[in-house]
Each structure stands twice: as structure tokens, then as C-alpha cells.
Structure 1
Amino acid sequence: MNIGVDEVRSRLARHVPVAADAVGRMQAAVSVVLAPDESGALSLLLIRRAEVPGDPWSGQMGLPGGRREDGDPDLLATALRETEEETGVRLPADAVLGTLDDIAPLTPVLPPVLVRPFVCAIGQIPQVTPSHEVADFLWVPIDGLPTSAGKVEVPIRGDLRIMPAYLVGPHVVWGMTHRIINNFMRLVAV
């Protein structure tokens, strides 16, 4: 699959995102940040969250983003603010290509949160300056992501569970991040 920003924008324009009911849930937003690598192929920014006691997403691979704050006028503002805070990457509002379906955790052991993913594209891979919330980051060519996931054993509250996941080098991408990327890949698959 060799897809460019214009085609991603076109497919997102035809997609009607499913907005879930936010009643009783925290609201959050993430950025699916795309940028062309040296060859012009689109890459996706993934972060590894810092290890923080009590954080259910501690140490996991994710997308830049977080909870909506009182000063955020909308979830797009949340996604843009959180991306800059966590990675130092400032996304202009015109970088937004579209929105994916809202998602929520599938397990009751996670906080009740509703996440809205915004797909953004910038002209080149920028310098990333991780905050204290981010242990590491990587740019992954979307051509290298599978259109379907494998399965891995993941420790959840002391138990090993088999979950759908992508392996990206030594990293396991699973849970809500996996679902967001899976939704994106299905949308842009040729």
C-alpha cells in the first residue's frame, strides 16, 4: 500500500465518524500524526508512555493525546494541545485531515473514557522532544503496518490474556491504540 496525504484526506472526507455517547465518561482525544519519510512514504508517530504507578496505560505504546481539560474548547483542541505537550510537535489546525470513530475501553477495569482520534498530516518528520510523560517514540511506515492484527499475550492486572496486537519491532501495540490504528488502516487500505 503506497498512499499519500491527498488520498488519506479524500477517504476521511467520505467517512462519517461514529460519535459515541460521552455521558458518564471522561473525554479524551489523540492525534494520529502522519508525515512523509525521506522516500516520501507516510509514517505514523507512536509514543511509549512513561512508567507511572497507578496509570493504567503506563509503559504502553500509544498515540499522543490525553484528557480534555476545562480550557479546551473542543476535543480537537485537546488533541493538538496534548500532542504538543507530550512530543513538542505543534500541529496547526489545517494539519487535520479528518476524524476516526470514537472508541472506549472494552474492559471494565479501565477508567470510563471516550477517545476521539484526529488524523493529522505534516510536511516532514519533525523533531520530537518527549515530555516526562513519554519514555520513547518512533515513526512507523504505514506501509509496514499489517491490515490485520496478530495476537499476543498481554499482562492485564496480573493475568496473561491473548489480545489482538501489532508487533512494531520489539514493541507491542494493543488495546485502544491498536483499535484506532486498525480503524485507520481499514479506512485507507487500497
Structure 2
Amino acid sequence: MTAFLTKPPADSAHWTSLFRTRLDDAALRDIERETGDHILNPDLGPYAKWDGPPRDAAVLIGIVERSDGPNVVLTQRTGHLKSHAGQVALPGGKIDPTDNGPAEAALREADEEIGLAPERVELIGNLAPYLTGSGYRVIPVVGTIQDGAAFRPNPGEVESVFEVPLGFLMDPANHQKLSREWQGKRRYFYAMPFGERYIWGVTAGIIRSLYETVYR
């Protein structure tokens, strides 16, 4: 693991095989397990801002192989959105009734948000559901993106598309545990600053879940 974190492998078959094996193992072992904001904040409850059942959503952890190693594709949301404006996010959104499960929803949303054609993605597996304080139950879908796939940000939702080395995101030394005051209490969250990009909150929490699933 140490060699991977300090220098991502040049051979994509190495990490894709590792991820597929660990995700398959996790699905069998932790089928009822859920992660989320409440893990760091048990006194807030899993749906701190929502009354009633959670809304189902899915995001794509898309990994593309580059000459210097694998990268994760992320987005910077536009500043005019009603929620999470200007924040770093994984492509994704609510699961529609017409979607055939979380994988189809994640691929549809990635197509709508960044112009990533579904046929350019090879699915590897899913992480455990991630519960957010805003009332969503998010299924992170992991997949590899074919080299040469074009990204076209939807200006109505996405300001820019960028990539972060997988080795950086999978290094726990880059996982900061921070806090802010929320409703009179300290709320803890993960942050993974990368240059001018501030990765935090649910996005960082899902990336942390990927690390804990694959490397711990």
C-alpha cells in the first residue's frame, strides 16, 4: 500500500484489480453498513436537516488513467446554484424513478453534468451508502473512464472539470479532520485541499469512505 500511495502504479490493471476485489469483498461483508456525516457527528443524527425518509442519490467516482498515474474526475459547481454553490463535487444527483438503479443514475448524471458518455465508463463496484446531513442516501459508484474521453461542463451546473491524482486522495496524510460551528455545536468533517481546490464535506467524506474500503 505504501508504494501505491507514494507513487501510483503505471499499470492500470494493478489498481483496478485491487479496487474490484476490495469492493466485492466489502459488498459481501458490509451489506448493511452505512457511512455518512453522522459518523463524525453522532449527536446530530444521520439526517440532521431532513424530516422523513432519505432521498436516494448516486455519484460517480470516475478514475481515468494518465501517463503519470490514475486521476479522479471532480467538478467545481457553479456559484448560482441553490445548494452547494461553488463547491467541489463528484458528478451525480438524485436517482430518478426511470433510472435502473444507482449505477444508471450516476452515469446519466455524469453525462448531463460533464458530457461523459456512459459507454466510456467501465463500472467496478459500489461503496456503502453515504448518509448526508441534508437528507440524502448517496450510493457512490466507482468506475474507470477510458482515456480520451471528452468532458464538456454543463454551464448550468458545472463551472469546471478537473482531476486529482488518486494517490493524493488515497493518502491519509492528506485527510484533514476539521470542524465548524453548526446550530451551536461543533460539526466535524473531512477536507482534502489540493492546490486552489478545496475538497471537503460530503465529497471528501465519500473519498475517505473509498480509502477505508480499499486500504483498511
* TM > 0.5 fold call: yes
Unaligned 5+ segments in structure 1 are: none
Unaligned 5+ segments in structure 2 are: 10-14, 35-45, 47-51
Length-normalised TM-score, structure 1: 0.83
Does structure 2 conserve the Cα–Cα contact (< 8 Å) formed by 1:18 and 1:100? Answer: no
The structure carrying a bigger helix percent of its residues is 2
Q: Partner amino acid for 1:119?
A: V
- Alpha carbons of 1:125 and 1:139: their partners in 2 closer, same or farther (altered >3 Å)? farther
User: Equivalent residue for 1:102?
Assistant: 129
The match for 2:143 among 100, 110, 120 is: 120
- Alpha carbons of 1:153 and 1:169: their partners in 2 closer, same or farther (altered >3 Å)? farther
Length-normalised TM-score, structure 2: 0.74
- Alpha carbons of 1:60 and 1:94: their partners in 2 closer, same or farther (altered >3 Å)? closer
1:43, distance to aligned residue in structure 2 (A) = 0.7
Does structure 2 conserve the Cα–Cα contact (< 8 Å) formed by 1:35 and 1:125? Answer: no
- Alpha carbons of 1:76 and 1:51: their partners in 2 closer, same or farther (altered >3 Å)? same
User: Equivalent residue for 2:79?
Assistant: 51
What are the equivalent positions in structure 2 for 1:10-21 lying under 5 Å apart? Answer: 10-16=21-27, 18=31
CA–CA separation in structure 1 for the residues paired with 2:178 and 2:95: 31
- Alpha carbons of 1:52 and 1:147: their partners in 2 closer, same or farther (altered >3 Å)? same
**Residues 1:30 and 2:59 are matched in the alignment:** yes
Q: Partner amino acid for 2:172?
A: T
What are the equivalent positions in structure 2 for 1:63-82 lying under 5 Å apart? Answer: 63-82=90-109
Q: What is the SS of the residue equivalent to 1:176?
A: helix
Q: What is the SS of the residue equivalent to 1:143?
A: helix
Does structure 1 conserve the Cα–Cα contact (< 8 Å) formed by 2:120 and 2:145? Answer: no
CA–CA separation in structure 2 for the residues paired with 1:169 and 1:44: 15
Q: What is the SS of the residue equivalent to 1:95?
A: strand
1:189, distance to aligned residue in structure 2 (A) = 2.9
Runs of 4+ that moved beyond 3 A: 17-21, 151-157, 159-163
**Residues 1:137 and 2:161 are matched in the alignment:** yes
Give 1 or 2 for the bigger CA radius of gyration: 2
Identical amino acids, percent of aligned pairs = 24
- Alpha carbons of 1:51 and 1:154: their partners in 2 closer, same or farther (altered >3 Å)? farther
